[in-house]
Amino acid sequence: MSEPLFVYGTLRGDHPAAALTGFRRRTDAEYPTIEPADGAVDGQVVQVDGWAEKDRYEGCRPDDPESSLYWRLVTSGGVHVYVGNPGVAERYWPDPWDVDYDYEEARDAVAEAEVFR
């Protein structure tokens, strides 16, 4: 079964434009991520048939969010979104993100976010 995924970085392709509310895009690390904030992030919505390959690409471990590079979270409208885990970023980048959110805050922010197409 295909499910929607909001993409804003390296997964973007030739798809119609969309926007995710309640976040801003960060580009101050090696890979882009988003964080809870006032505003919206431009991106696209793609359909995904299985999550194993995408999760592997994003360093997402659904059964172990604390060790995941990116968390895959779901909006109340059923759209999946990858959000960077700042607690793991320092293992990959010399200058970790200066952020103040954790898994629960990111999960709650994504649940409240809306995707406009």
* Residues constituting the chain: 117
Q: How far apart are CA 10 and CA 56, in angstroms?
A: 14
How many degrees, rounded to 5, is the angle at CA 13 between CA 53 and CA 83? 55
The CATH number that applies at residue 70 is 3.10.490
- Reported pTM: 0.89
Q: For residues 71-92, give the mean pLDDT.
A: 89
**pLDDT score at 72:** 98
Q: Please give the share of the chain, as a percent, with pLDDT higher than 70.
A: 92
Q: How far apart are CA 110 and CA 36, in angstroms?
A: 8
Alpha carbon 117 to its chain centroid, in Å, reads 17
Q: How far apart are CA 7 and CA 9, in angstroms?
A: 6
The total number of structural domains that make up the chain: 1
Q: For residues 22-45, give the mean pLDDT.
A: 88
Q: Given pLDDT bands bounded at 50, 70 and 90, which one contains residue 95? A: low
Give the structural domain span for 55.
3-116
98, 60 in Cβ contact below 8 A?
Answer: no
**How many CA atoms lie less than 13 Å away from 79 in the CB half-sphere?**
22
